[in-house]
Structure 1
Amino acid sequence: MSRQSVRRLTVATAAAMAITAAPLATATAARAATPGAATADSFYSYDGSAPLSSFAPGTVLRTRTLQYHVEGISTPLTAIQLLYRTTDALGRPSANVTTVVRSLTGDSSKAVSYQSFYDSLNPADGPSRAIAGDVSLGGTIANFESVALSALLAQGYNLVIPDTEGQSADFAAGPEYGTDTLDSIRAATSSVATGLNSDTKFGLMGYSGGAIATDWAAALAPSYAPDVNRNLVGFAEGGLLVDPAHNLSYVSGALAWSGVIPMALIGVSRSYDIDLTQYMSSYGQQVYNQLQSASIVDALGHYPGLTWQDMAKPQYADPDSAPAFVAAVNRINLGSAPTPTVPGYIAQGDGGVFEGTFGDPAGIGTGDGVMVVGDVRALANQYCATGDGSIEYNQFDALSHVGTAAVWAPLAVSWLNDRFAGKAAPSDCGRIPAGNSLAPERTVPTS
């Protein structure tokens, strides 16, 4: 990759990530479209006579072609959007949307499946809607990511950009993120409109919320989508959520990132059809109701100092005393997921104090402000021990979650370039520091 491309990608990614850390009180005026208007787009609804269960995962149900938009402004690039059949967190057939953008300089031989970090409980904030021209505060992240992706297109990569959270915006539901991503690739390579085919090689790439989708897709591919797995060259990710129970403890009381606590509770409740309000105090239910359609920009910095204990009834002050919560977080713990069979590049920051997270819980430790570095090291070591050893791990001790993204992005692209070029994947196995236990949570008696 040229120095100019690296510089462009770094700057663009830094700008995109900065959106999540910007002051939000004055940003509300920027909302230019209501979520209801975007959600009402009939393209997103499957209305065929045959039940979704009659279609194989990845089957294209509807296709449209439109101009690629950034912040509502049309560009010369053409985007092909596909409604396709996939599988939700409970294993039920569902419909989802992905976007394919063809490089003007490349061919059909290579593509990057880019998983956005749009992190929202509102389906109107998905990348497909931003690409179609919808503009909303919650969709700002997906819009700004489009700028960063220009470097990949310039290098000849086709892009496949799934709405990883599905059509009900199941925030933090990792397994669903994974199936949505894998079936998105299936749809993209089976559609005549995209120009991609069953021989197109793919790299997976994503940061933060996008890393959740990237890692789960890589982990589930051998069993759920072996046809996709055989064409994967590797996965590149950073700022990864591994064990949500640990993250809950780490961000508890944080100045900025504590708002993800209620967002994650809502997402898990929604995706697994469970009721967590039974454990909540009146204040907890108030916050829970306020954020039902929130994006990360609605929550970040809006609940400084918030803790699980603030939201829970006194008898559930220990999260592990809530059985439904324990069951849910164990289902989205990557430590219990399969090991990918393709090479991986994983980056993680450890400067969370710069984003107002000062916690250092026993057995969990520190992180980048929202993600736990010990968990990521543990997962990387687990992949080394149970895979083929092709894991590269970078830890940036002085960088926070936002700061790490700007460094990670060009390194991730460079790493993927080498995999597409057929170069042997580097390995840090044997040199990665030990991490935390990723064992499932156990329910404890109420106090």
Structure 2
Amino acid sequence: MQRTRTLGALTAVALAAGLAGGLAAPAHAATDDFFGYHGSKPLASYAPGAVLDTRTIDYHLLGISLPVKVEQILYRSTDAQGKPIANVTSVIKPPGTPKSGQAVSYQSFYDSLSVADSPSRVIAGDQRFPGGAIVNLETALIAPLLLQGYPVVVPDTEGPNADFAAGPEYGTTTLDSVRAASTATGTGLNTSTKFGMLGYSGGAIGTNWAAALAPSYAPDVNKRLVGATEGGLLVAPAHNLNYVSGTPVWAGVAPMAVAGAARAFGLDMSPYLSAKGAQVMADVQDDSIGEGLLANPFVTWQQLVKPEYANPDSVKPFVDAVNKLNLGQRPSPTVPMFIEQGAGGFLEGSPGTKPGIGPGDGVMIAGDVRTLARQYCADGTTVKYQQQDLLSHIGTALPWAAASIGWLNDRFAGKTAPSSCGSIPAGNSLAPEAYAGS
């Protein structure tokens, strides 16, 4: 009972402080040796999901240790280029009696180009401000799951190099996290444990890519998934960069996403950048989402590149990257999906008047999400789609979170998943970008 009261009270503190822009816990360097692989065997010799190391720690909120135990696991996974990596996930144990044979994989929206902001490091007590504020704030979303008895698994979806927005890597790290959590000692989970997946915004990237990749990359995990719920989803990055370009709130996500894709795929963007673009790209290399947005309001693609590359499709590395990141060009999940999307982006300064884009929530585009949902329906996936026409990206998170727990509970209970298939309005084309260079 004391654990439950402590978790609930400090969750309320985290929510209040996060919404007020606080969470100014002292920062310290994240130099923990646990976060790297130091074994003698080649990393590639381990199967994806293999456990490399484990430790038991307390859950930290605002740098304060709580009486909630976490099993952290170093495990082998795969990056966006298919290369082996060592990544970390955190299995948070519920304060009371855990549910038997059920767990939730929660994908964080930490959205950062700095590994210091990874959930595993913040949970372990490292507190870099403002980047670590997001993971602290997410305690308010994780706590209700813990209080229902679900063990909650939180992977570092961006991998060990903080490959921001690199969707395929988010998917593989999530799936291998489930594998590792299911075999590591001390988690209370096993290879029969059923999993639901949950994530908003950056967390939706991990959730959707994991659901889409599971049948081919991790069929052993796919057969244990009961469903995935997500909101504020990035579908076709080329559209989103156009949507946010020049806007007051979300424009700064564009150079961060380009930097993340370049890092993930080993792309050299320097030949295409203007002097301003080179400076901006250098400056965002370790930025959290808050830092990146505050540093680059109103920025446009055209300001970042040389005049001859004003059309993004004339930059070959850009075209190659965004096509690899287009969910519309990837397979459909085979598990039930609950997708919620805002379309009131004017509240966050993003007009829905750009051709081929239409309304969005300020950073994510409703028409893209609708087309993806319809595509999944056509392939036989059961999809419940909800659109909040008067809510923006931040605002839509609240109704989505409230509905998601009940939706997941019903999936674990074996109830028939609700479907919106047949009534989802048409959206935008998700065709790949065509290279316009010579």
TM-score (norm 1): 0.93
Measured in 1, the distance between the counterparts of 2:59 and 2:284 equals: 30
**Which position in structure 1 is the counterpart of 2:413?**
421
SS of residue matched to 2:251: helix
Cα offsets for 1:131-176 (capped at 9, x unmatched): 1011112011011102321110111111000000001000000000
Could you tell me which residue of structure 2 aligns to residue 50 of structure 1? 41
The answer to whether the aligner puts 1:273 opposite 2:257 as a matched pair is: no
> Is the contact made by 1:90 and 1:272 (CA closer than 8 Å) also made in structure 2?
yes
Query: Is residue 256–residue 284 contact of structure 2 (8 Å, CA) maintained in 1?
Result: yes
4+ runs of 1 displaced by more than 3 Å?
11-19
- Equivalent residue number for residue 89 of structure 1: 80
Aligned residues: 428
Task: Tell me what 1:218 maps to.
Answer: 211
Contact residue 258 and residue 301 of structure 1 kept, 8 A:
no
1:33 aligns with 2:24: no
Distance in 2 (alpha carbons) for counterparts of 1:282 and 1:392: 46
**Which residue number in structure 1 is paired with residue 5 of structure 2?**
none
1:71–1:144: 8 Å Cα contact kept in structure 2? no
1:105, distance to aligned residue in structure 2 (A)? 2.3
SS at match of 2:186: helix
Question: 2:436 — aligned with what?
Answer: 444
Q: How does 1:249-398 map to 2 (within 5 A)?
A: 249-388=242-381, 390-398=382-390
2:25–2:63 contact (8 Å) kept in structure 1: no
Q: Is the 8 A contact 2:43 2:84 kept in 1?
A: yes
> Cα offset for 1:387?
2.2
1:229 maps to 222
Kindly indicate whether residue 49 of structure 2 is the aligned counterpart of residue 68 of structure 1: no
Paired amino acid for 1:292: Q
Q: 1:78 Cα deviation (Å)?
A: 0.3
How far, CA to CA, are the matches of 1:78 and 1:437 in structure 2?
46
Q: Which residue of 1 aligns with 2:4?
A: none
Q: Which runs of 5+ in 2 are unaligned?
A: 1-7
CA drift of 1:32 comes to: 2.1
Q: Could you report, residue by residue, the CA deviation over 1:83-102 in whole angstroms, capped at 9, with x for unpaired residues?
A: 00000000001100000012
Over 3 Å counting, the alpha-carbon distance change for 1:391 and 1:12 in structure 2 is farther
**What is the CA-CA distance between 1:410 and the residue it aligns to?**
1.2
> How do 1:173-184 residues align onto structure 2 when only pairs under 5 Å count?
173-184=166-177
> Deviation of residue 15 (structure 1)?
4.1
Q: Counterparts of 1:78-157 in structure 2 under 5 Å?
A: 78-103=69-94, 104-137=96-129, 138-157=131-150
Contact 1:254–1:359 (Cα < 8 Å) also in 2? no
How many Å separate the matches in 2 of 1:148 and 1:246? Answer: 29
1 CA distance for matches of 2:413 and 2:16?
Answer: 28
**What's the CA shift for 1:17?**
11
Distance in 1, Cα, partners of 2:328 & 2:321: 14
Partner Cα separation in structure 2 for residue 12 and residue 443 of structure 1? 49
The answer to which structure, 1 or 2, has the higher relative contact order (CA under 8 A, 6+ apart) is 1
**TM-score, length basis structure 2:** 0.95
- State the shift of 1:16 in Å: 8.3
CA distance in structure 1 between the aligned counterparts of 2:270 and 2:259, rounded to whole angstroms: 9
Distance 1:176 1:305 in 2: 29
| Residue 244, structure 1, aligned to residue 237, structure 2 | yes
CA distance in 2 between partners of 1:196 and 1:349 (Å): 35
Question: Is contact 2:88-2:156 (8 Å) kept?
Answer: yes
Corresponding residue of 2:68: 77
**SS of equivalent to 1:413:** helix
Distance 1:16 1:264, change over 3 A: farther
| Offset at residue 30 of structure 1 (A) | 3.0
Q: What's the CA shift string for 1:185-208, capped at 9, x where partnerless?
A: 000001121110011110000000
Q: In structure 2, how many angstroms separate the alpha carbons of the residues matched to 1:382 and 1:13? A: 41
Question: What residue ranges of structure 1 are gaps of 5+ in the alignment?
Answer: 1-7
Q: 1:402-417 counterparts in 2 under 5 A?
A: 402-417=394-409
Q: Deviations over 1:363-407 (max 9, x none)?
A: 11120000011000000000000124x100000000000000011
The answer to whether the Cα contact below 8 Å between 2:80 and 2:265 also exists between their aligned partners in 1 is yes
Contact 1:12/1:145 (<8 A) preserved = no
Q: Percent identity?
A: 59
Relative to structure 1, the CA distance from residue 16 to residue 244 in structure 2 (aligned partners, 3 Å threshold; closer, same or farther) is farther
**1:31 CA displacement:** 6.1
Q: Which amino acid aligns with 1:361?
A: K
Q: 1:4 is matched with which residue? A: none
For the Cα contact (< 8 Å) 2:14–2:62, is it kept in 1?
no
- What value does the CA root-mean-square deviation take over the aligned residues? 1.9
**Gap change, CA 1:106 and 1:241, over 3 Å in 2:** same
C-alpha distance after superposition, 1:323-348 (max 9, x if no partner): 11000000011001110000000000
Alpha-carbon distance between aligned partners in 1 of 2:17 and 2:321, rounded to the nearest angstrom? 28
Contact 2:171–2:208 under 8 Å retained in 1: yes
Aligned partner of residue 194 in structure 1, secondary structure: coil
| Counterparts of 1:119 and 1:33, CA distance in 2 | 18
Cα drift, residue 301 of structure 1: 3.5
